[in-house]
Structure 1
Amino acid sequence: MQQTGSSWHPRTLTNYKEALKLRILPALGHLRLDVIKPMHLLSFIDNIQEEGIRKGGGKLSPATINIHYTLLRSLFKKAVEWGACLPAILPAILSH
């Protein structure tokens, strides 16, 4: 993932890459954008809030969950701009 003229802090970029690699792509990467439904995204968000999701066990911190949430929201907003999916794909949880 690359942003031209990026104003992202290096740590933000690292966090986004980790979120994609560790959780988002394994959970959603097998689905084309045009078939992802709000239920897929809601299920993903619910799943990453569960106990035991962390590598060593336990829950993800609210900040880490927010990284996933923010990244998904950005990705789907860009996909809508590019015409890859419809705005309806963004459930309320990803629109806050």
Structure 2
Amino acid sequence: MLGLIISIVVIGLIAGALARLIVPGKQDMSILMTIVLGIVGSFVGGFLGYLLFHKDGADGFLQPAGIIGSLIGAIIVLLIWMRVGGRRSVRS
């Protein structure tokens, strides 16, 4: 169980960091938010993969397709985050 949690955090960090490198612009995020971005991106990528190909992660956790799906999901989540976060303004 502890190994699964550590691997989820590591894959989240890698996917989140790569998404932040690929998407242009400045993202004001901490390391913790980058990990959360990658983890949420993994869920989004897995869900989209299931919808498109009707396959799930029953064949194993660390697969190249799963890591690529995590990266694509993290990019989608980051783009949505930047779009929604850019609308914040201070009203006086």
TM-score under structure 2 length normalisation: 0.33
Q: Higher RCO, 1 or 2 (CA under 8 Å, sep at least 6)?
A: 2
- Please state which structure has a larger fraction of its residues in helix: 2
TM-score under structure 1 length normalisation: 0.32
Q: Tell which structure's C-alpha radius of gyration is larger.
A: 2
